[in-house]
A = this chain, B = another copy of it.
Amino acid sequence: MRFSKQRELIKNIVQGTNSHPTAYWIFNKAKKKISNISLGTVYRNLNKLNKDGIIDIFYDNNIARYDWNTVSHDHLKCNKCGKIIDVKMHTKELQKEVWKQYKFEADNFEITVSGICNNH
């Protein structure tokens, strides 16, 4: 993969926020530095960075969100303010349990808990 200032910027934007941004949010932020950057470039690079394990993608209902945190983790989503909080909930024990109970070889957990966060 060759260097590009667009990709570098996009990577820095994702790595500089805890807000689990959408592609469009990243696009708007990027435009402040590179005014003619294109939305396609943002998507292409987000996918590329994800394939290389540099950033994470997850889906919040039907829209993609991007995360600098590539260590397997879970999310708490507040129904009042929309905030998404990183947490670690699933364990090796849960993985073993899934095998024991269902003979299912788990390799990825997607857990999103919605409710009300401690700001309310």
* Chain A residues close to B by CB (< 8 Å): 59, 61-64, 76, 78-79, 85, 87, 89, 94, 97-98, 101-118
Contacts and interface: CB of A to CB of B under 8 A. Distances in A.
Nearest to A111: B111
Given A109-B111, A111-B110, A118 B94 contact: no
Given A62-B64, A64-B62, A113-B109, A118 B102 contact: yes
A81 to B, nearest CB: 12
Contacts of A116: 104-105, 107
Contact of A115 (B59, B63, B104, B117): B104
Contact of A107 (B105, B108, B109, B114): B114
Nearest to A88: B101
